[in-house]
A and B are shown apart, each in its own frame.
Chain A
Amino acid sequence: MATIQLKQVEKRFGEAYAVKPLDLTISDGEFIVLLGPSGCGKTTTLRMISGLETVTAGQILLDDKNVTWLHPSARDIAFVFQFYALYPHMSVRDNIAFPLKAQGETKELIDERLKLVVDLLRIGHLLNKRPGGLSGGDKQRVALARALVRRPAAFLMDEPLGALDADLRESMRAEIRELQLRLKATTVYVTHDQIEAMAMGDRIVVMSAAVVQQADTPTQVYYNPANLFVAKFIGSPGMNLVQGNYAEGIVRLPGDNQYPLPPGWQNSITRGENVILGFRPESAHVSPEGMLQGQVYATHMHGSYTMLHLNMEGDNVVHVRADRSQRYPIGANIRFDVDAQMARFFNPQNETALRQHQEQSRMTNDGLAVSNSQSSVSHSQSYE
């Protein structure tokens, strides 16, 4: 397995940027998820790594070897497509053996390797079938087998589970991740499904509008989003974002709500400045003495909890996770608290996250390490 380095890689179609200059280092055995809405450049990035798309500028290094202008066949990478791309005129066996035949391997070696991956993915009973007759999950397993059989330097997967049913997707998610960990395979995985990204990735690279918004571990991306886009995009629903104004230790929010600025933020926000308060639905707690209040707008039963949609005046609707056993009539005023340590603040002008000016890292009450020295993300951030 190998490391992959992208250095100022960019892709333009005419004047339009598909990917703006991007730096990314993927270490050996790492599972990187490229996440973003459609058209954000994640698939183009993946295709540039594979060589199926040429780069407009920049360099791609595979194990420190410059492969920027190498033909896809010369890069030693495997690609798993969303719609499997199994060759319809070949049996499953021939499909899996196809990459090995390209290398002119002996029949013995092909049979041996074939047996290994077939056992690994438990698809022995499918070998003589044509891909057309297989179920979605089996097609995806065969496609994975075809990628694995060659033992490539890296795996590139383009929404490989996008075409599967919800429950199958969940089990295949676990299957792929387990396989990746066992093989210690460097993997770049593209998806628009943030749950998939959170569940599978060692690191998530969030992209939007051809630009990397944040590249970090799922925990960091979830609890410390670099900007408003990431805050809204990650999580279902996304982070609650309420615009307010800061003065004398208090953030004034719509509906006469006042939220005392948690410790550690005083130096980040100047008096009279507009700020956006962000908090996750699970960081808010309904309580009669709560500092904030809102009117119940809708309640959604989620089984283990109830999601309250509270209107804090204007169009500021926030989601708060509440006890499922309680009843919350529509229109009632509910008071709630936001966990001081889980509150985040954003600059409404440039939409980036504000950071606490405190030099030590500390544990939040959820037991998560929050690094305070993380820099905000520019258009070409480097991760060494």
Chain B
Amino acid sequence: MASFAETGPRRPVVESIRVDKVSPGARTTGAVRAMVVVIVALIMLIPIFVMLATAFKSRPDVSASPPKVFFQPTLEGFLYLFTDRAIIAPGRMAEFQAKADAGAMGFLERLAFDTGQEITGPSAYVGRLTNSLIVAGVSTALSVLLGTLAGYAFSRFNMPGKDDLLFFILSTRMLPAVVVTIPLFLMYRQMGLYDTHLGLILLYTVFNLSFAVWLMKGFFDEIPREYEEAALVDGYSRIQTFLKIVLPQSVSGIAATTVFCLIFAWNEYAFALMMTSERARTAPPSIPSMLGRGGIEWSAIAAGSLLFLIPVVIITFALRKYLLRGVTFGAIRQ
């Protein structure tokens, strides 16, 4: 019988760590594929790049036509984003000049002075970003916590009307958000929830919960019951089993649910616009509201969007290890 070494593989090897084993045809195909992926990725990244560039452009550069690709970066956009300013009255110019010469000016103050402005106070954006953090953070934590518990119960226990309950939970997502905005607005005003953190947190939690329950139930369904049964006969109570066996194995599910809930709560625009005005307003509705103040401050908008993007990117990056890892990894033969 001819050995493998004599006949060789029947079909060309497409993937291998040994370059000499991969057929030239397969190598070209691989290269073409990689190129297509890179090109598509670059096209997708254009808006992000424009945002990034605009955030660091000065006011004249922003509106230059054709758009400048190479420019002198400046932090003006961030100055506009974080501060309220006023034009320095001509009579006080000398006073500011003296202060600047003495080196007694802070970085932002100096930046403002260079464009002929003085800082009159912090802008509302800082507070709104904080609001976003609070609302998104708390509502995500609540959704994931409740979703995990409910998902586990739905996955493991029999209860009367289980399927109907699950469908009901899902059905809350079938209604477009706009439809309930007006009644919700009236209810919230009556109950004193209008323009409060609690109001938005409740709203986002309810909205995310259906999703979290279904997602977590799916993840728990994937974890074999035998692990829990083993722990039960090993002498642990149901709650201990849940904490010591089930939770550690559902990390990837929890991570995925967290990211999805967070992205929704963080990006939500319509409810935030309707249900808040000053105190609890989050970042998304406040970024476009910068449009109207002393002309369109494109660099401030871009800077605001950029800062707004960062937390989600960080969280997704931090959790990507769990997002990619499978739910179980081989202790039970599947």
Given A83-B224, A89-B248, A163 contacting B233 (CB threshold 8 A): no
Task: Report A-chain residues with C-beta under 8 Å of the C-beta of B226.
Answer: 81, 83, 85
Nearest neighbor of A50 in chain B, beta-carbon distance = B233
With known contacts A87-B227, A87-B245, A146–B233 Cβ distance under 8 A: no
Residue B332 lies at the interface, judged by CB distance under 8 Å to chain A: yes
The distance in angstroms between the C-alpha atoms of A163 and B331, with both chains bound, is 12
Of A131-139, A253-261, A368-376, the stretch lying at the interface with chain B is A131-139
Q: How far is the CA of A370 from the CA of B334 in the complex (A)?
A: 45
With A83-B226, A89-B248, A89-B249 already in contact, the answer to whether A77 and B233 are too (CB < 8 A) is yes
B239 nearest CB across to chain A (Å): 11
Measured CA separation A349–B257 after assembly (Å): 62
**Are A88 and B331 touching (Cβ within 8 A)?**
yes
Q: Which residues in B have their C-beta under 8 angstroms from that of A102?
A: 234-236, 240
Pick the contact of B232: A52, A87, A132 (CB < 8 A): A52
Considering only residues 16-35 of chain A, those with a C-beta below 8 Å from chain B are: none
The answer to whether B229 touches A52, judged by C-beta atoms less than 8 angstroms apart, is yes
CB distance from A159 to the nearest CB of B (A): 12
A75 neighbours in B (Cβ, 8 Å): 233
Query: What 0/1 pattern do residues 206 to 231 of B give for CB contact below 8 A with A?
Result: 00000000000000000010110111
Q: Write out the residue numbers on chain A whose beta carbons fall within 8 Å of the beta carbon of B235.
A: 73, 99, 102-103, 150
CA distance in complex: A73, B230 (Å): 10
Knowing A51-B233, A77-B233 are in contact, say whether A88-B330 is a contact too (CB < 8 A): yes
Query: Which A residues from 78 to 115 make CB contacts under 8 A with B?
Result: 78-79, 81, 83-89, 98-99, 102-103
B328 close to chain A: CB less than 8 A: yes
Distance, CA A98 to CA B329, complexed state (A): 19
User: Total A-B pairs in contact (CB under 8 Å)?
Assistant: 81
Complex: A99 Cα to B236 Cα, angstroms: 8
Complex CA–CA separation, A75 to B230 (angstroms): 13
The minimal Cβ–Cβ distance linking A227 to chain B, given in whole angstroms, is 34
Residue in B237, B240, B245, B331 with the greatest tally of chain A CB atoms within 10 Å = B331
Least distance between A370 CB and chain B CB atoms (Å): 40
Q: How large is the interface on A (under 10, 10 to 19, 20 to 34, 35 or more residues)?
A: 20 to 34
Q: Is B333 a contact partner of A136 (Cβ separation < 8 A)?
A: yes
Measured CB to CB, the closest approach of chain B to A283, in angstroms, equals 40
Residue of B nearest to A104 (CB): B235
Q: A71 contacts the other chain (Cβ, under 8 Å)?
A: yes
Query: In the complex, what residues of B have CB within 8 A of residue A150's CB?
Result: 234-235
Contacts of B233 in A (CB 8 A): 50-52, 72-73, 75, 77-79, 156
Instruction: Given the known inter-chain contacts A86-B331, A88-B330, A132-B331, please indicate yes or no for A72 contacting B224, CB distance below 8 A.
Output: no
The interface of chain A, by Cβ under 8 A from chain B, is 50-52, 71-73, 75, 77-79, 81, 83-89, 98-99, 102-103, 130-133, 136, 139, 146, 150, 156, 163
Sampled A-B contacts (26; CB under 8 Å): A71-B232, A71-B237, A72-B229, A72-B233, A73-B232, A73-B233, A73-B234, A73-B236, A73-B237, A81-B230, A83-B332, A84-B332, A85-B226, A85-B227, A85-B230, A87-B230, A87-B231, A88-B227, A88-B249, A88-B328, A89-B249, A98-B234, A102-B234, A102-B235, A103-B235, A146-B234
Contacts A73-B235, A87-B331, A102-B234 given; 17 further ones with Cβ under 8 A? A52-B229, A72-B229, A73-B234, A79-B230, A79-B233, A84-B333, A85-B331, A86-B331, A87-B227, A87-B230, A88-B249, A102-B236, A103-B235, A132-B331, A139-B331, A146-B230, A150-B234
